[in-house]
Every structure is written in C-alpha cells, then in structure tokens.
C-alpha cells in the first residue's frame, strides 16, 4: 500500500469508541514492550474521557483501502499550561498507528491535525515524549521539525509513592 491507494479519515472519538480506544492503548503498550502495565479499563476511559469533566481528547484515524475502511491509529492529548509562555500547550500523551498501516501518512495526518488544533486554541507549543530506543519515531518527529529537549528529565510519582506524598 502507498498514499495513493489509501484514504485517511480523522474523527474525534465518542463514548461509543471506548473499546477501540482501549484496544489502541493495549496495542501501543505491546509496541512499547510494556503490555502488563496497562490497567486502564473501558469504565475508567468512559469516565475520564467522556464523563462530565473530560481530562483528555482522542482523535481516531481510519484508513480506506480498496473500498474498505478500518481503524488505523489514534492520538490522545490534553492541554497543559506554560507559565513562561503564558499560554496553554497541547500535550500529546499517546500516538499510535497499527504496524501494518505505517508509512501511509497516518501519523503525519494525526500530528498535523493536532498542530492545527494547537494553533486554533492559541497554544504556545505542542509537546510529547518518545522512548529513547524508538529510533523510527524519533527520526519521524525530527523530520517534522520537532526539537528534542534532552536537558529535561521526566519525573513521576505513582502508586504507593503518590499515596505517601498525599498523606504527608
């Protein structure tokens, strides 16, 4: 397949898509060599993505090849805020395209859509992280103009450490 044979359609996920979103999350975890780390459930995703106070947004990508449309990938993002820029930012939490559908322009279409969304929302920047061993993705992002921020170190507190900190 190539770009000329495939037609790509993007659509915001709805509550009816929760099962598909979870499937993509699990596929991404497999790709990132961490399938046992997924604890998300359809119930949690329904509550946190489509409940009264959604914490994030999901864009689904579909590809039509030879007249048949199929789910191809997704992007999950949310807004943060930069005090230095004084404007919101768009943070891309997850981007995934099914392995057999890569190199059709789906990932690029998702990122272009998010960049357009960031511009419309007057975001000062768009950010995401990539695993250091994921060289194909690193090269892809660099080709689109991304700049690596190697001087920054991600910090995370979760599970019992989060509970402990909250109890101090």
Q: What is the CA radius of gyration of the chain?
A: 17
| Residue in 31, 79, 91, 141 annotated catalytic | 141
Would you call 92 helix, strand, or coil by DSSP? strand
**Active site (annotated) includes residue 141:** yes
Residue 105 CB-density burial (10 A; 0-12 exposed, 13-18 middle, 19+ buried): middle
| Beta carbons of 77 and 93 less than 8 angstroms apart | yes
From the centroid of its chain, how far is CA 57? 9
Residue 96 CB-density burial (10 A; 0-12 exposed, 13-18 middle, 19+ buried): buried
Point out the residues that are catalytic.
141
């Amino acid at each position: 397949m190539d770009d000329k044979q495939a037609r790509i359609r993007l659509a915001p996920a709805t509550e009816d898509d929760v099962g598909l979103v979870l499937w993509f999350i699990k596929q991404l975890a497999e790709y990132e060599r961490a399938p046992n780390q997924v604890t998300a459930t359809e119930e949690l995703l329904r509550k946190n993505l489509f409940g009264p106070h959604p914490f994030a947004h999901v864009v689904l990508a579909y590809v039509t090849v030879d007249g048949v449309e199929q789910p191809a990938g997704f992007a999950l993002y949310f807004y943060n805020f930069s005090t230095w820029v004084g404007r919101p930012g768009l943070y891309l939490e997850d981007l995934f395209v099914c392995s057999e559908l890569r190199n059709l322009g789906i990932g690029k279409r998702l990122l272009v859509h998010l960049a357009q969304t960031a511009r419309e929302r007057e975001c000062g920047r768009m950010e995401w992280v990539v695993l250091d061993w994921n060289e194909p993705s690193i090269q892809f992002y660099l080709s689109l103009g991304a700049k690596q921020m190697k001087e920054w170190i991600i910090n995370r507190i979760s599970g019992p450490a989060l509970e402990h900190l909250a109890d101090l």
